[in-house]
Structure 1
Amino acid sequence: MIDETTKGVFTIAVTPFLPDGTLDLASLDRMVDAYIARGASGLTILGMMGEAGKLSSSESVEVIRRVISRSTVPVIVGVSAPGFATMAAMSTEAMDVGASGVMVAPPMGLKTDAQIVSYFHNAADCLGETPFVLQDFPLATGVQISPSVILQIVEECQTCVMLKHEDWPGLEKITSLRKASEDGSRRISILCGNGGMYLLEEMMRGADGAMTGFGYPEMMRLVIDAYHAGDIDRARDIFDAYMPMIRYEAQPGMGLAIRKHSLARQGVIQHATVRKPSTSLSVQAIAEIDALARRQEKRLLDLGVPRDVFWQSDVQQDLSMSRK
């Protein structure tokens, strides 16, 4: 189970689809293996970038069971839903098959601090003993949660063990929460999102790791390992090698299509399909992504990062064979 001490890299997983929009279970298996091989200490599925809102309830259950049965690392399942009955049912399904916890984002429309606190009280009640992650992503939800409100939720809802920090800008929020913990507030795990855009600074502010996705998921592990080794310059150099692609993937409304293209390019998934409604990449965009990828590879090799750390050549070969 996840708890207040959980650290590391929980990679946010995409949901692979075939060209006709149906689930691609073979790619789902290959993706789980690739994420773990590239340094994930955990996986988070059915999040916003996992297209959870586009799946039927039966498809969601199928993804949960498939990933958990395949994974050798803890799995957190996104269970955000318009109603608590659906949330409770999905959480029960996930925990019964071996999930390590669930993640809950506040619904749009919560305006006041009292409404936010009340919502998470109700969520905690419906989840029972299941440990949960509070997803703080105001850019997507429109719900602004101040540090004081987070601290109140953490204090009053003991099963809230982790914050998925995605406020933007949000570095001062991490500092504020960690200062409160030093002063006696209950300390919980903080894993950060936003595609890793501020990862090193977040670690330096007191985060415990990352819970985000990126088309090159090994980036989070490489940066965090260098940080923990005390080699901040190397952490910056590695991050700088990936930064042009991180920046490109951060385009609103385009990020998932870009990420899936990058994963398909590497052979992690077979198709870059984003389930409709979706945005398609133009020929020009694909050329730009591929150019950035080539420069990224060169910079990593110049830094002495082994090719097999950031390029799954065996997976790529298997994919090439499957297309013949």
Structure 2
Amino acid sequence: MLDETAKGVFTIAVTPFLPNGDLDLDSIDRMVDAYIERGATGLTILGMMGEAGKLSAEESVTVVERVVSRCSVPVVVGVSAPGFAAMTSLSDAAMDAGAAGVMVAPPGSLRTDAQSLTYYHNAADALGNAPFVLQDFPLATGVVISTDVILKVVEDCPTCVMLKHEDWPGLEKISALRAASDAGARRISILCGNGGMYLLEEMLRGADGAMTGFGYPEMMAQVVAAYHADDLEQARDIFDAYMPMIRYEAQPGLGLAIRKYSLAKQGVIAHPTLRKPGATLSQAAMAEVDTLAKRQAKRLADLGL
């Protein structure tokens, strides 16, 4: 079961589709194996990057069962939904299948701290004993969750064991949360997203690792390992080698298409298909990704990686 001590790299997984839009179960198996081989200490599925909103309830359960049955590391399942009944249903199915925990992002209708706090109180009730991750991603949800609200959720809801930190800019929030835990507040795990763009700085501020879906997941594992070995120069060199691709992936609206294209080119999934509606890459964009990948490989070879 997921708990407050979780650390490392929980790779956010895509949901592979066949060219006709059906689930690609064989690619799920290949993807799970590849993520773990590249250093994932956990996987997160059915998040925003997993196109969860485009799946039927039955398809969501199929993906959960397939991933968990294949996986040798903890699996966190995104269960965000417009209503609590759907959230409870998917959470129960995920935990019954062997998931380690679930993740909940706030609905875009929340406007005040009081509304956010009430929402997570209700979510915790709906999830029962399932440990959950509070996803703080205001750029995508439109909901700003203050540090005070996060600390209050952690205080009131013992099943909240992790923050997926994706505020941007958000380094000061990590520092404030860690200062609060140093002063006696319950300490929970903090794993960070945003495509790994600020990973090293986030680790230096007190994060426990990454939970993101950059198309080369080994980057996160290598940077985190170098950080824990107290080799910050190596961590920066590794990050710098991947930075052009991280930057390119960060384009709003295109990031998932770029990631799926990269994963397909690497053989991690069979097809770069996004289920409709979804962005597609032009030939020019695919050529740009290919060029960045070649230059990235050269930089890594120069580092002996």
TM-score range, shorter chain: over 0.9
Could you say which residue in structure 1 is the equivalent of 2:40? 40
CA offsets 1:69-113 (integer angstroms, 9 cap, x no match): 000000000000000000000000000010000000000010011
SS in 2 for 1:50: coil
> Is 1:213 aligned to 2:213, yes or no?
yes
Q: What amino acid does structure 2 have at the position aligned with 1:109?
A: S
- 1:1-324 equivalence runs, <5 A: 1-305=1-305
**Aligned counterparts of 2:114 and 2:252: Cα–Cα separation in 1:** 30
Q: What amino acid does structure 2 have at the position aligned with 1:134?
A: L
**Which segments of 5 or more consecutive residues in structure 2 lack a partner in the other structure?**
none
**Aligned counterparts of 1:258 and 1:97: Cα–Cα separation in 2:** 31
**Aligned counterparts of 2:253 and 2:30: Cα–Cα separation in 1:** 26
**Which segments of 5 or more consecutive residues in structure 1 lack a partner in the other structure?**
306-324
**Aligned counterparts of 1:230 and 1:269: Cα–Cα separation in 2:** 34
**Aligned counterparts of 2:20 and 2:129: Cα–Cα separation in 1:** 39
**Aligned counterparts of 1:136 and 1:178: Cα–Cα separation in 2:** 16
**Aligned counterparts of 1:109 and 1:169: Cα–Cα separation in 2:** 22
Q: What amino acid does structure 1 have at the position aligned with 2:204?
A: M
SS in 2 for 1:191: strand
Q: CA deviation at 1:304?
A: 0.5
**Identity fraction in percent:** 75
**Aligned counterparts of 1:81 and 1:101: Cα–Cα separation in 2:** 16
CA offsets 1:158-178 (integer angstroms, 9 cap, x no match): 100000000000000000000
**Aligned counterparts of 1:290 and 1:23: Cα–Cα separation in 2:** 26
Q: What amino acid does structure 2 have at the position aligned with 1:192?
A: C
**Aligned counterparts of 2:138 and 2:154: Cα–Cα separation in 1:** 18
Could you say which residue in structure 2 is the equivalent of 1:314? none
Q: CA deviation at 1:136?
A: 0.2
Q: What amino acid does structure 2 have at the position aligned with 1:102?
A: V
User: CA RMSD for the aligned pairs?
Assistant: 0.4
**Aligned counterparts of 1:238 and 1:113: Cα–Cα separation in 2:** 39
Q: CA deviation at 1:25?
A: 0.6
SS in 1 for 2:49: helix
**Aligned counterparts of 1:249 and 1:201: Cα–Cα separation in 2:** 19
CA offsets 1:189-241 (integer angstroms, 9 cap, x no match): 00000000000000000000000001101000000000000000000000000
SS in 2 for 1:103: strand
**Aligned counterparts of 1:275 and 1:250: Cα–Cα separation in 2:** 20
CA offsets 1:123-157 (integer angstroms, 9 cap, x no match): 00011111000000000100001111100010011
Q: What amino acid does structure 2 have at the position aligned with 1:208?
A: D
CA offsets 1:10-65 (integer angstroms, 9 cap, x no match): 00000000000000111110000000000000000000000000001111010000
Q: What amino acid does structure 1 have at the position aligned with 2:214?
A: F
**Aligned counterparts of 1:275 and 1:252: Cα–Cα separation in 2:** 17
**Aligned counterparts of 1:182 and 1:28: Cα–Cα separation in 2:** 40
**Aligned counterparts of 2:83 and 2:89: Cα–Cα separation in 1:** 10
SS in 2 for 1:48: coil
**Aligned counterparts of 2:173 and 2:98: Cα–Cα separation in 1:** 32
TM score, norm. by length of structure 1:
0.94
Q: What amino acid does structure 2 have at the position aligned with 1:196?
A: G
**Aligned counterparts of 2:282 and 2:90: Cα–Cα separation in 1:** 36
Q: What amino acid does structure 2 have at the position aligned with 1:31?
A: M
SS in 2 for 1:246: helix
